[in-house]
Amino acid sequence: MMRRPLIANVLVALALVVVFGWLCTTVFALLGTQTDWSKAWEYRQTLWRGWWMTLQISFAALLGSIFFGLLFMLGQRSPLVVVRWTCRAFLEFVRDTPLLVHLLFGYFVIFAPLISRPLGERGFDDKLIIGILLLSVFEGAYLGEILRGGVESIPRTQWESARAVGFSRFQVYRYVIFPQALRRALPAMAGLFVSLIKDSSLLNVIGVAEYFYNTKNFISRSYAGLEGYVPLAIGYLILTLPVAWLSHWLENRFRHET
């Protein structure tokens, strides 16, 4: 009984290895003569700087998106109808338009004319700061929905019990609702943070010297192919895999608790 699935598994695995191996050898055979890994080594400084920049952008936008996410979540739960509707409309707009458009429009039309000069005079990199801001708003819009889902999934009796023991409005959120809602939202949040890291590559369109931008420059300058794209993929994997693992770990851990 146990042997049949085992054999099937082995056969399928073998077939996959053969297909993948064939694909790799064909591609490498075609490109093999032109591939020169020393090019990538030559540009290692730029690539490293870009990767480090991507890490910093991701971290800053992560904090930023948490801020905006909380803001959007609370806005949608505001007792004022006008605030709720404005929030709703803004979120809908942000979530239904591409990040690329936000970055181009937000940078060149809205923020650059507005704050580029004052930022530049104080010695800041305006592209970087505006890019992080726009990325934070975009991811924050998604996070806001995730958090709202988490908060609204907490049963009514929990709110009531919290009020009944005398907690204030703030304390109800702080001690009763958030700890439970975050627990439920954590896996989805970790997934979003993986997206955030990947989306940060779009900042290249406004000229932020992050990992993708620097790799692109390296490729066009040295006519590299694989030597550029393989490190690019690996570089992003190094950033995203730990977050993805964290998300699975959290999912497993909290599944048993409630």
Angle at 150 between CA 145 and CA 151, to 5 degrees: 100
Burial 191-217 (b: 16+ CB within 10 A, else e): bbbbebbebbbbbbbbebbbbbbbbeb
CB of 72 to other proteins, least distance (A): 24
In angstroms, what is the minimal distance from the CB of 257 to other proteins?
Answer: 8
What span, in angstroms and rounded, lies between the C-alpha atoms of 157 and 173?
14
Q: Which residues of 32-57 are buried (b: 16+ CB within 10 A; e: fewer)?
A: eeeeeeebbeebeebbeebbebbbeb
Residues that bind other proteins (CB under 8 A): 155, 157-158, 160-168, 171, 175-176, 179-180, 183, 257-258
By beta-carbon proximity to other proteins, the closer residue of 154 and 205 is 154
Q: Which is nearer to other proteins, 110 or 165 (CB)?
A: 165
Q: Which is nearer to other proteins, 67 or 159 (CB)?
A: 159
To other proteins, the closest distance from the beta carbon of 57 in angstroms equals: 33
Please identify, using beta-carbon distances, which residue of 56 and 180 lies nearer to other proteins.
180
Considering the complex, what minimum distance in angstroms separates the CB of residue 77 from other proteins? 16
**Distance of closest approach, residue 217 Cβ to other proteins, in angstroms:** 49
Q: Nearest approach, Cβ of 167 to other proteins (angstroms)?
A: 6
Distance, in Å, from the CA atom of 2 to the CA atom of 190, rounded to the nearest integer, reads 37
Nearer to other proteins, 4 or 156 (CB): 156
Residue 35 backbone class (left: φ over 0; alpha: ψ -120 to 50; beta: rest)? beta
Give the nearer residue to other proteins in terms of CB position, either 179 or 242: 179
